[in-house]
Structure 1
Amino acid sequence: MRLQILSDLHLETETFDPEPAEGAELLVLGGDIDSTWDGLERFRDWPQPVLFVAGNHEFDGRELTLAWPALRERCEQLGFTMLERQSIVRTGADGRRIRFVGTVRWCDFNLFGDAQRERVLRAAAYFMRVMRSTHHGVPFDAAAVLTEALACRDWLAEELARPAGDWDATVAITHFGPSFLSADPRYGSQPGTASFCNADDDLLPFADLWIHGHLHCRHDYRVRFDGHETRVVSNARGHSPRGEPQGYDGRFTVEV
């Protein structure tokens, strides 16, 4: 199955006209499409089925307990599928059945372990203030994000480890990066990187392809474990004032 991948379009401020990729059978939206949600309208009546995993900025200035059901309803109205701690199986033109396992997978700030915990949490506080979100009426701060992140992690680990079923390959979709290998090379091992990547390397072998966004740079690398190979891909666009979309290919596709 050939997948077109888009994420981090930030259509609330960016000018970008997404176009279907030739030969694609399904479009994956990996989050941070538009913090106002208005830009999701551009994917109504898309010629291929659309799978959407939310990013952190889909919740900017919102109460999460209300935003989740409202966002799901918006996606249903637009005719595409949102995955949050859910999996779905789709059949490609070649007859192969692909399992898609999706969750935002909030960051748990454990990328560098205990050694940098204090510095990581100080950096995380800044990103949470930018979001200005609440959860059950209180600020969605680093502690609240951690709680959600661990719930995502538990679900993801359990779902990926399910015994082989009626699918031929597994694609994991998370907004946050699954490994330090996905760190933005501009920032590397700075404490703030732990707000963008998780240490989910142990889960990578359970997927054939892992799609993520969040970091405003592109990635396409492979990780091998005992003869199994997992391809990790991000096709994030980013912000024009920072030059991040330079060379961006909105028709980028991968085969799974």
Structure 2
Amino acid sequence: MKLQLLSDLHLETETFDPEPAPGADLLVLAGDIDARWDGYARFAGWPVPVLVVAGNHEFDGRELHDAWPALRATCARHGLQLLQREATTVTTADGHRVRFVGATRWSDFDLFGAAQRERAMRAAGYFMRLMAATRGGQPFDAAGVRDEGLACRAWLEQALATPAAGRWDSTVVVTHFAPSLRSADPRYGRQPGTASFCSADDDLIARADLWLHGHLHCRHDYTVDRPGRRPARVVCQARGLQAKGEADGHDPLRLIEVWRPGRLQESD
């Protein structure tokens, strides 16, 4: 199976015209596509199935509990499938069954351990004020984000512990937030604010064959060793903001292959 991955297009402010990648079997939208949601209409009638995982900016200025069903309805109206703590299996024409496990995976701020959690949550206050969202009528603050992040983490852990039992051949995880400090933006490195972008899910990566994410406005492609098995792979294909030069070098037509079990991992 060959995937096209797009994230962090920020169509609420950026000018970008998405095009289908030749040879792709499926398109994954890994969040921060358009804070206004209007941009999702550009993917209606896409020639291959489209899976969506929401980013943080999909909830800018919104009530979280109301936004989820509204975003799901928006995606469905355009023929897109939203995954939030949900999994779906897609079978290619040649019989390759790929399970997609999707969740926003909000930050729990434990990237640097419990001792640094409070400091990380204080740093997140800036981002949450910009987001200006609510949760249950109250400001969606760092504590609320941590609650959501812990729920995502628990769901992912359970989903990735579920045996295939012959129902799928490969597993692809899609999150908006990154699963490892290895995905940190090299421009900023290790600082308290990095915990607002990356989670310490390194132990879960090895349970997937491929992990796709966005949120960091840079590109990554690295592997995690799994003794006796081919490595798990982590890919971020975020576009970012053109005005900051983040979109330089972004290849929206790049294909990411999900290898069948038993085949050696290869680079694109």
1:170-222 deviations in whole A, cap 9, x for unaligned?
Answer: 00000000000100011110111100000000101110000000000001111
Question: Could you tell me how far apart the structure 2 residues matched to 1:253 and 1:30 are?
Answer: 15
Question: Could you tell me how far apart the structure 2 residues matched to 1:59 and 1:95 are?
Answer: 37
1:75-100 deviations in whole A, cap 9, x for unaligned?
Answer: 00000100000000001132110000
1:24-77 deviations in whole A, cap 9, x for unaligned?
Answer: 010000000000000111000001110000000000000011000000000000
Give the aligned partner of residue 235 of structure 1. 237
Q: How many pairs were matched up?
A: 256
Give the aligned partner of residue 213 of structure 2. 212
Q: Is the 8 A contact 2:4 2:254 kept in 1?
A: yes
Which amino acid in the other structure matches residue 116 of structure 1? Answer: Q
For normalisation by structure 1, the TM-score amounts to 0.98
1:184 match: secondary structure: coil
1:244 match: secondary structure: coil
Give the aligned partner of residue 30 of structure 1. 30
Give the aligned partner of residue 2 of structure 2. 2
Moved over 3 A (4+): none
Give the aligned partner of residue 186 of structure 1. 187
Give the aligned partner of residue 59 of structure 1. 59
| Runs of at least 5 residues in structure 2 that lack an aligned partner in the other structure | 259-268
1:115 Cα deviation after fit: 3.7
Give the aligned partner of residue 90 of structure 2. 90
1:153 Cα deviation after fit: 0.5
Q: Is the 8 A contact 2:121 2:143 kept in 1?
A: no
Question: Could you tell me how far apart the structure 1 residues matched to 2:38 and 2:164 are?
Answer: 38
| Runs of at least 5 residues in structure 1 that lack an aligned partner in the other structure | none
Q: Is the 8 A contact 2:24 2:255 kept in 1?
A: yes
Give the aligned partner of residue 100 of structure 2. 100
The two structures, once aligned, show a CA RMSD in angstroms of 0.8
**Where does 1:64-213 land on structure 2 (aligned, <5 Å)?**
64-165=64-165, 166-213=167-214
2:206 match: secondary structure: helix
1:238 match: secondary structure: coil
Question: Could you tell me how far apart the structure 2 residues matched to 1:122 and 1:183 are?
Answer: 19
Question: Could you tell me how far apart the structure 2 residues matched to 1:214 and 1:120 are?
Answer: 17
Question: Could you tell me how far apart the structure 2 residues matched to 1:19 and 1:37 are?
Answer: 18
Give the aligned partner of residue 262 of structure 2. none
Give the aligned partner of residue 42 of structure 1. 42
Which amino acid in the other structure matches residue 244 of structure 2? Answer: R
For normalisation by structure 2, the TM-score amounts to 0.94
1:114 Cα deviation after fit: 3.0
